Amino acid sequence: AQRVTQPEKLLSVFKGAPVELKCNYSYSGSPELFWYVQYSRQRLQLLLRHISRESIKGFTADLNKGETSFHLKKPFAQEEDSAMYYCALSAEIQGAQKLVFGQGTRLTINP
């Protein structure tokens, strides 16, 4: 079965400190992984996709197939990074796609 695990429900770091949000997945196929972010009172929005290997707002995420992980990292946290972060796996089931979300990590950046 497809599963996404975000072990930390809450994460608090100081401004300027490095931040890492952990994500592990379970999927027998070739994974397509995403990070979504939800700022206070805003809609859920795509932050980045593993396939594009991009850096958005200073965040990067590397897919590690050996460890089945897709951790989100930023070297220097900013207060505006405070939000809810969701790791998601796009799984193909009987020819149809389904996006499976982790439980989310609430990131708080302290001044």
The correct pick among 70, 104, 107, 109 for binding other proteins (CB under 8 A) is 104
Q: Under the criterion CB under 8 A, does residue 95 sit at the interface with other proteins?
A: yes
Kindly determine how many residues on this chain lie close enough to bind other proteins according to the rule CB under 8 A.
23
Q: Give me the sign of the Cα torsion angle 48, 100, 12, 42.
A: positive
Q: Tokens for 17?
A: 């400190």
Which residue's CB is nearer to other proteins, number 66 or number 95? 95
- Indicate the burial class of 89 (C-beta count within 10 angstroms; 0-12, 13-18, 19 or more): buried
- Helix, strand, coil percentages, rounded to 5, for the chain: 5, 50, 40
Which residue's CB is nearer to other proteins, number 59 or number 86? 86
Least gap, CB of 109 to other proteins (angstroms): 21
Q: Which residues bind other proteins (CB under 8 A)?
A: 32, 34, 36, 43-46, 49, 51, 86, 90, 93-104
